Structure 1
Amino acid sequence: MALYMRSGATKAAPVRISSLAVLPLENLSKDPDQEYFADGMTDELITDLAKIGSLRVISRNSVMPYKGKHKSIPEIGRELNVDAVVEGTVMRSENRVRIRAQLIEARTDRHIWAQAYEGDVRDVLKLQDQVAQAIATEIKGKLAPAEKVHLTSAKEIRPDAYEADLRGFYELHKHGAAGTFLPVGNEIEKAIKFFQQALSIDPDDALAYAGLADAYYDQSTFFRAPLEVMPKAKAAATKAIQLDESQAEAHASLGYVRLTFDWDWA
């Protein structure tokens, strides 16, 4: 494995950052079919940074409306009420991935830190962890042992399975962004097929099970009878957690099922 980094950090007066927004990473490949990959990298970076204690990270749903928009950083900072913003780019070329990220003080639009990372697509989770760890260290100075564990535990992936996962979540998020009045089985059914494809490649893919749990739960809201799909959501979420206890999406889905279907309010 070979991972390359180039730093462009500049030293200046320290800035206290307690809240952060990760803007949608720009797809530099200019291939619209690669948007799912850039969005997936954005999601993973948000998830990683949200594991840092004392740092409030804005949700995906709040930052994705800024995709493709050309607003100033101070304006975005005011609208989201954050101290800093992360923006960056993703370039994928065959089996290589290059991620460039920069941390910007929202109020002044001053660049605090910038760095580029490059590696094999099989190591993309490690690249993401390195980006998140560098940002977190810049903000906090020193990470707690548990935070370091969270940001250094990424494993090598099966590229084809991970790609299917990202495509599945891309379809699932399109459904959410479009609202609830969609033809039955549209984006959600596509997402389910991608997650099932991932599991056919890697039967122990916790992310795919977490995606299935989300998809089945979403189906129960308007498109399928709860008795048909909620048990599937519960089973998928449980399996995801068994494979990877850190899967936040799976924990959330399991909680939704227990609250709305099992009526377990304990």
Structure 2
Amino acid sequence: MSYTPFFRGAAATLIWLYSAALAQASQVVTQTERDWAKQAIQQEKALSTQGAASPSNSLAVLYFNNKSGQDKLSPLQKGLAVMLITDLAKVEQLRVVERVRMQALLDELELGSSGLVDAGTVPKVGRLLGAAKVTSGDILKGRDEKLEISSSVLDIPLDKIAGQTTAAGALADLFQLEKEILFHIIDSLQITLSPQKKTELEQPLSASTPALLALFLGIEYSDQGLYELAAKMYNQALTEDPYLEIAKDALQELKGMGLIRSEGEKMQEAEEAEPSEPAAESGGGISAGTVVGIGLGLAAVGAGVYYGVEAIEDEIEGVPPTIVNVDKPDIAGCTDEMTVTFSEPMKEAYAVISPSEITTQVTQSWTSSETLKVSWTVSSSLTITIDVSNLRDTDDNALELPGDANPISFDITCQSLLM
């Protein structure tokens, strides 16, 4: 069967119209996208052999590859793509492939669990998505625990790299790193921005890394069909940054599609449930500036990789350490010891011990970077106070203390010496 130029052009246009809707339109992969992905793969041979061309200004942003050796950074694979797609979709000269179309295609190609496309498969995926240009990159571990993000732009028709760049910095500066990558992509595509558009694109999706991480996890949950968990993460993202519009839109989408229960339905369900122990009050949200309290994890289906919110939070600079355990004797003796365990690796400074006259009889040591041990040998009964408020973690964040945690005070009873 022969294919006329008209047919070839119409087929390419059809693929493009299906795959290049505005990127921020949706975060839920629907049956429509899944049907499109199947059709695109079925038509692949015909289109490739007949040379159907994609629009020259069409661009697909693939997920980034985590090569840092740290599984806890894996949510950035999809998250960086989300940030770039959202920004690039605002550039009028470009037609950016919608993320859910790409996700549906990756699922159909059985790459959905990892979301990763190797270098040899990039051109094929780009053609299936109807994109003339494809950008992706790697997440690397740089010097001094910094994050490095490399990115490149592949021109598919010319089969050559149109541009490459690397951005490096702390995870807390994620929004700034994304902007470096963004403007380099735009330069690589030889696009000139107006001053107004450049100013618009310089505005961060969010300056809150915890908000962005919660958003990324919400999108990952949504892709796996775990919509209630996705909604919790979107709500958490909005707790961290109430102005994060993409999280608002994603949450509203779940509600509008009836994929999550309304508050009324949840209340009715609770009323109809059998009596049980009262649930702990949730309060108004999670502690400011942190997603640790959510207690949710993300198991990537088929990948065997666990993305714990707590593990990700360990990488965020600015999160204060806390005391997680104090192990002191119920009845302290003349010669005894206690330990204080912290949530983060700490600088090896020491607590302030009082009364001061016993300091020569007290020793302090770090049994690990998170655990301080205090030992003593005293000659009389007394009250000892251990003040740890001066301690800081290795990122120089001051210890965060609840009202009853500092100072740590208890009585030492020297019975053997009082007899």
Same fold (TM over 0.5): yes
| Match among 86, 98, 104 for residue 59 of structure 1 | 98
* RMSD of aligned alpha carbons: 3.0
**Which residue identity lines up with residue 166 of structure 2 in the other structure?**
A
Conservation of the 8 A alpha-carbon contact between 2:206 and 2:241: no
**Between Structure 1 and Structure 2, whose CA radius of gyration is higher?**
2
Residues 168/108 of structure 1: CA separation in 2 closer, same or farther (3 Å cut): same
| Match among 189, 205, 208 for residue 228 of structure 2 | 189
Structure 1 stretch displaced more, 162-171 or 69-78: 69-78
Counterpart-to-counterpart distance in 1, 2:121 and 2:240 = 43
Matches within 5 A, 1:195-234: 195-218=234-257, 220-221=258-259, 224=261
Structure with the bigger RCO (C-alpha within 8 Å, sep 6+) is 1
Which residue matches 2:203? 153
**Which residue identity lines up with residue 210 of structure 1 in the other structure?**
D
Which residue matches 1:37? 76
* C-alpha distance after superposition, 1:152-203 (max 9, x if no partner): 122772332332222122212222xxxxxxxxxxx11112222333344444
| Match among 64, 68, 78 for residue 116 of structure 2 | 68
Conservation of the 8 A alpha-carbon contact between 1:123 and 1:155: no
- TM score, norm. by length of structure 2: 0.42
Counterpart-to-counterpart distance in 2, 1:42 and 1:165 = 12
Which residue matches 1:88? 137
* C-alpha distance after superposition, 1:95-144 (max 9, x if no partner): 74321100111023211110000122232112212211221122134212
| Match among 5, 17, 28 for residue 67 of structure 2 | 28
Identity, in percent, stands at 25
- TM score, norm. by length of structure 1: 0.64
Counterpart-to-counterpart distance in 2, 1:74 and 1:199 = 37
* C-alpha distance after superposition, 1:37-75 (max 9, x if no partner): 211111111111111112111111232316334443433
SS at structure 1 position matched to 2:74: helix
Point out where structure 2 has 5 or more consecutive residues left out of the alignment: 1-54, 267-419
Residues 204/68 of structure 1: CA separation in 2 closer, same or farther (3 Å cut): closer
Which residue matches 1:4? none
SS at structure 2 position matched to 1:140: coil
Point out where structure 1 has 5 or more consecutive residues left out of the alignment: 1-15, 176-186, 230-266
Counterpart-to-counterpart distance in 2, 1:62 and 1:204 = 26
* C-alpha distance after superposition, 1:211-263 (max 9, x if no partner): 42233234x15x5479969xxxxxxxxxxxxxxxxxxxxxxxxxxxxxxxxxx
In the TM superposition, residue 148 of structure 1 has moved relative to its aligned partner by: 0.6
Conservation of the 8 A alpha-carbon contact between 1:84 and 1:104: yes
Which residue matches 2:305? none
Counterpart-to-counterpart distance in 1, 2:217 and 2:164 = 28
Q: Whose helix proportion is higher, 1 or 2?
A: 1
Counterpart-to-counterpart distance in 1, 2:179 and 2:92 = 16
Residues 192/134 of structure 1: CA separation in 2 closer, same or farther (3 Å cut): same
Conservation of the 8 A alpha-carbon contact between 1:137 and 1:143: no
Which residue matches 1:49? 88
Residues 214/90 of structure 1: CA separation in 2 closer, same or farther (3 Å cut): farther
SS at structure 2 position matched to 1:108: coil
* C-alpha distance after superposition, 1:8-60 (max 9, x if no partner): xxxxxxxx941111111111234444332211111111111111112111111
Residues 157/77 of structure 1: CA separation in 2 closer, same or farther (3 Å cut): closer
